[in-house]
Amino acid sequence: EHSNARIERFMNLCADNNMHVTYPSTPAQLFHLLRRQCKLAYRRPLIVFTPKSLLRLPACSSSLKELSEGSFQAIIPCSIPSEQVKTLLLCSGKIFYELQAAIAAGERTDIGLMRIEQLYPLHQDSLKEALERYGNAKRVAWVQEEPKNMGPWPHLQYPLARALGRDPEYCGRRAAAAPAVGSHRRHREEQQQIIDSALNNKDA
């Protein structure tokens, strides 16, 4: 389906660590992910979501040092000091760049972005440790562009709540029967509503 990779369908198949489901957001992340896959001592299917828009997005780039050093990060924490974070937004994939641009445009220094790059298996201990760094955050929300009954949310809602000790807020489209609205104008309007909801705690 051209408008949606149906993340939720792949995650429905996940159990007993039978596959890796990932959504890398930078070239370096993709490189290290593929390198990790080749070096595994065992063979396990790897599902990689890579939207075409990131191929031509200037912000989606990596330095040679990032490519030559380091390793794949299942969770990428936000880059601002944890004590400044009043709102913590969790997301995966390309919506990170839209949120990042909106935060920069609004000169917001109280909003942190955390990327979950490996959707399955989701290591609960690592997730809890990452979230505990932002214990001062009054608001924690999951942001996605897919409808509420699609994408990672149906599968991450419970693990996130368990790691947080409370239910995270959801920012995204309402549940729908189809993955796309069928109108480019309406799609852009809904996308902007998601960003506004995430940054300003308004209903999407």
The pair of three-digit structure tokens given for residue 18, joined into one six-digit string = 């039978």
Averages of pLDDT over each 10 residues, the chain, 204 residues: 78 96 96 95 92 90 94 93 94 96 94 97 92 92 96 96 95 92 89 94 60
Phi, psi of 202 (to 5 degrees): -105, 150
Residue 13, Cβ neighbours under 10 Å: how many?
A: 12
Provide the Cα torsion 73, 74, 79, 85; round to 10°. -160
DSSP assignment string, 64-106:
HHHHHS----SEE--SS-GGG-SEEEEE-TTHHHHHHHHHHHT
* Predicted pLDDT at 52: 86
Beta-strand relationship, 20-22 and 46-48: parallel
Q: How far apart are CA 4 and CA 11, in angstroms?
A: 14
Closest CA to 91 of 13, 189, 197: 197
* Predicted pLDDT at 202: 61
Closest CA to 85 of 135, 144, 143, 142: 135
